Amino acid sequence: MEALQYPIGRFEAQPDYTPDMLQGFIKDIGYLPALVEIAVQHLDEYQLQTPYRHEGWTVAQVVHHLADSHMNGYTRMKLALTEELPVIKPYDEAAWAMLPDVKHTPINMSVTLLHALHTRWVNLMKHLSAADWERRFVHPANGTQFNLKTHAANYAWHGKHHLEHILRLKERMDW
């Protein structure tokens, strides 16, 4: 079950990240929308409504979740860049995945949103200074502070994590 839920393993923050690693995260975030688009482009409605694992989200929910989550990630980065140690607003990902917009919005809308959002996000990250990357925000659940390096690493992982859910389901189902 762990392999289906975490196909590339769990995210593990590192003590620090090099400039080359940050450039890799920016590339990963930049390429994600196209990779998601390719992964879902020939799936029919039955396939889009198939969960990637037992009691997991459907492919459609995963795509909409990526848009929801990455909008939050982009906003959190902008908050950290414009406020001193902001406390971010967490959200209930599972509840968001059950809202009517997820059920009634075609996934191509979220893919389009990902393309636009990631273009903005990548353009922001490409122009951050070393000091900008050290800026932080606070997660209120436990008061943990995250710098923007770790935040970028987490979202680069997050995109690959959910892309693998889709790709491995397609492989298992021979789609």
* Percentage of residues of the chain with pLDDT beyond 70: 100
Structure-block tokens of residue 95: 């509840």
Burial 88-110 (b: 16+ CB within 10 A, else e): beeeeeeebbeeeebeebebeeb
Residue whose structure tokens are 């995945």: 97
Burial of residue 66, with CB atoms counted within 10 A of its CB: 0-12 exposed, 13-18 middle, 19 or more buried = buried
Higher pLDDT, 101 or 1: 101
118 within 8 A of 30, measured Cβ to Cβ: yes
CATH class of the domain at 17-169: mainly alpha
pLDDT tens figures, 136-157:
999 999 899 999 999 999 999 9
State the Cα angle at 137 between 89 and 159, rounded to 5°: 75
86 within 8 A of 80, measured Cβ to Cβ: yes
> pLDDT value at position 109?
98
Q: What is the mean pLDDT of residues 29-54?
A: 98
The answer to pTM > 0.75 is yes
DSSP state of 126: T
Structure-block tokens of residue 23: 């450039």
Q: Is the pLDDT of residue 1 over 90?
A: no
The domain spans of the chain are: 17-169
> pLDDT value at position 2?
87
What average pLDDT does the structure give for the chain?
A: 97
Q: Is the pLDDT of residue 117 over 90?
A: yes
Q: What is the mean pLDDT of residues 41-65?
A: 97
